[in-house]
Structure 1
């Protein structure tokens, strides 16, 4: 009985994902000017994220390690890693959906004091892929 349930659940999930993929492929692409408008918004958004990130360069995290060294760590989004995609919604009202993808990198440095850790060469230690979804119903990207 459990295998029948698992099989029907898997079948339902497969059909659901296939229909969602088909619906997404049927959404009309946005015009070049709409794509460009979203790219400008995305660049501004990432710039704002870099300035205000709670663990960004200006709010660097400093941790005392067990060996007595200090670890300085911050997050940064490289604007070059930005990728944008815009599609119109299938509703009769004017609307678009924008996907913003980027890579947030965590940088670290160590030193004998917090000041030395902050001033040394930082090395990237982890990349995090992030996708954000925005909508625009004629009143700007949100």
Structure 2
């Protein structure tokens, strides 16, 4: 129940931020540059800490006796950023970060071979994150 309440609260806040951002002015090139710098650092952190990232890849036995290695990664090349000022009287900003998370897989006769073989992208997931900045940095 607590999780459902947190999800609904988060969804409401996201909708509120989106509505506020859509009725506002775009940010300056300097504000966009600062947000892009933040976004790149954020994606680096996500790649390092991803529960299914390269350092924690899944190794799964298959029915035929082979092994499947799988991990998720975000390429910084897929990052897209937008910054808008909120319509609030304070100096509020909303930043939209879009990127693609790719799932990579490899197979082998044993776990070591699956981990060492060439990985191929098998699925792309488009993700949008919303951040706010009320003068104290991006959150």
> TM above 0.5, one fold?
yes
Deviation, structure 1 residue 26: 3.7
Which secondary structure state, in structure 2, belongs to the residue aligned with residue 108 of structure 1?
strand
Runs of 4+ in 1 over 2 A off after TM superposition: 23-26
Whether the aligned pair in 1 keeps the contact of 2:71 and 2:105 (CA below 8 Å) is yes
Q: Which has the higher contact order (CA 8 A, sep 6+)?
A: 2
Gaps of 5+ in 2: 1-17
- The alignment yields a C-alpha RMSD, in angstroms, of 1.3
Question: 1:93 is matched with which residue?
Answer: 90
Mapped to 1, the partners of 2:24 and 2:124 lie a distance apart of: 31
Alpha-carbon offset, residue 24 of structure 1: 4.9
Query: What's the TM-score, normalizing by structure 1?
Result: 0.83
- Write the distance in 2 (CA, Å) between the matches of 1:24 and 1:40: 20
Matched, 1:33 2:30: yes
Q: Deviations over 1:82-138 (max 9, x none)?
A: 000000000001100000000000000000110000000000000000000000000
Q: Which structure would you say has the larger Rg?
A: 1
Q: Give the length in aligned residue pairs.
A: 122
Which structure 1 segments of 5+ residues have no match? 1-19
